[in-house]
Amino acid sequence: MPLVFENVTFSYRRSGRLFDRLTLSFHDPVTVVLGPNGAGKSTLLGIAATAIRPDSGRVSLDGLVPARKRELAAYRRRVSWIPQQVTAVPGLRVREQVAYCGWLKGLSRSEAWDRSIRALERVELGDLAGRASGKLSGGQQRRMAIAQALVHEASWVLMDEPTAGLDPGQRQVFRRLIAELRETAQIIVSTHQTDDLDTVFDHVVLLAHGRVHHDGGLQSFLGMAPEGTPETKRAELAYARYVGNEA
Ligand SMILES: Nc1ncnc2c1ncn2[C@@H]1O[C@H](COP(=O)(O)OP(=O)(O)OP(=O)(O)O)[C@@H](O)[C@H]1O
């Protein structure tokens, strides 16, 4: 079920044109959108999540076009978005917040409540289900946000810099989660860190200044590193080769 951007143009009022007729198709199980700060990664995911409206062009998912009013709700049910900023809802406990997100996506209250604990267990937060959501650490809040996205079992999960603020142990949890999640959903992860690149990703989109510099398999991306580059440096050097001074 591909998620497709066709000729998408978008400008922020203050900072000018970011995307100029951007055409891109996400079709692999797990895609990473890699790019330096300000490349447009969050905006791209925000558009895919329908939080941001493009000025022109079309986004579609399995033929559903969110710009068509009647298709918007069905599109949104299929897509889960974890934005960069995680918000704790004052007064809610962790499990309540996760269940609330499921309810917002159209689950019944009891279904949302039942699924919330499973979602929290998947991100290894089951033990903290009863804690006030505002009292989690930054890394735990990011994992709660992932649970929020998992609770309604969307077919696409969009994760904006999900590993920011995670310690190495939590990054491992995240990798396992992606490996498990890819069985039931297609995933887009954004990051600016080449050391996040991992065999869990099938597809690499490299973005800089709103333009796509690479759109293809992980191995073809890594293959851009100069010959003889040690395994651990390939992502970094391939990235430097594509983006060069532009980053
Ligand atoms: N609300 C806004 N108003 C004006 N300009 C914005 C706004 N949000 C983002 N921009 C600009 O749009 C460009 C792309 O920003 P975006 O946040 O999409 O990039 P990013 O790749 O996600 O960056 P980062 O890795 O820092 O999160 C940047 O130049 C940024 O300054």
Q: What are the tens digits of pLDDT across the range 23-73?
A: 999 999 999 999 999 999 999 999 999 999 999 999 999 889 999 999 998
Residue 246: pLDDT band (50, 70, 90) is: low
Ligand 1 — pocket residues by CB below 6 A?
Answer: 12, 14-15, 18, 35, 37-43, 192
Q: What residue type is 23 in one-letter code?
A: T
Residue 188: pLDDT band (50, 70, 90) is: very high
pLDDT for 128-183, tens place per residue? 999 999 999 888 888 898 899 889 878 999 999 988 878 888 888 888 888 888 88
CA distance 2 to 217: 16
Closest residue CA from atom 7 of ligand 1: 12
Percentage, residues of the chain above pLDDT 90: 56
Write down the pLDDT at residue 112: 94
ipTM score of complex: 0.97
Ligand 1 atom with the smallest distance to the CA of 35 is 21
- In sequence order, what E strands does the chain have? 3-12, 16-26, 30-34, 56-61, 79-82, 156-160, 186-191, 203-208, 211-217
Ligand 1 atom with the smallest distance to the CA of 84 is 27
Q: Could you tell me which of 156, 93, 154, 100 has the C-alpha nearest to residue 126?
A: 93
Side by side, which strands form the sheet with 156-160?
A: 79-82, 156-160, 186-191, 30-34, 203-208, 211-217
Q: Could you tell me which of 246, 247, 220, 245 has the C-alpha nearest to residue 235?
A: 220
Closest residue CA from atom 24 of ligand 1: 37
- Break the chain into its structural domains and give their ranges: 3-87+155-246
Q: What is the DSSP string of 48-83?
A: HTTSS--SEEEEEETTB-TTSHHHHHHHHHHEEEE-
Arithmetic mean of pLDDT, 114-125: 93
Distance 215 CA to ligand 1 centre (A): 21
Write down the pLDDT at residue 68: 94
Instruction: Work out the number of other CB atoms within 10 angstroms of the CB of residue 58.
Output: 15
Write down the pLDDT at residue 58: 96
- Average pLDDT over all residues of the chain: 90
Ligand 1 atom with the smallest distance to the CA of 39 is 21
Whether 216 has a pLDDT exceeding 70, the answer reads yes
CA distance 199 to 186: 15
Ligand 1 atom with the smallest distance to the CA of 45 is 18
Distance 209 CA to ligand 1 centre (A): 10
Q: Is it true that domain 3-87+155-246 has CATH number 3.40.50.300?
A: yes
Kindly state the helix (H) or strand (E) to which residue 209 belongs, with its residue range: none
Radius of gyration, CA atoms only, the chain: 18
Whether 192 has a pLDDT exceeding 60, the answer reads yes
Distance 43 CA to ligand 1 centre (A): 7
CA distance 107 to 87: 21
Q: Answer whether 235's CB lies under 8 Å from 204's CB.
A: no
Which stretches within 105-166 are classed as H helix? 109-122, 138-150
Whether 6 has a pLDDT exceeding 80, the answer reads yes
Distance 30 CA to ligand 1 centre (A): 23
Ligand 1 atom with the smallest distance to the CA of 42 is 22
Write down the pLDDT at residue 215: 95
Judged on CB neighbours under 10 Å (0-12, 13-18, 19+), 184 is exposed
Whether 126 has a pLDDT exceeding 60, the answer reads yes
Distance 238 CA to ligand 1 centre (A): 24
CA distance 169 to 2: 32
Closest residue CA from atom 17 of ligand 1: 42
Whether 247 has a pLDDT exceeding 60, the answer reads no
Arithmetic mean of pLDDT, 94-103: 93
Whether 5 has a pLDDT exceeding 70, the answer reads yes
Q: Answer whether 16's CB lies under 8 Å from 70's CB.
A: no
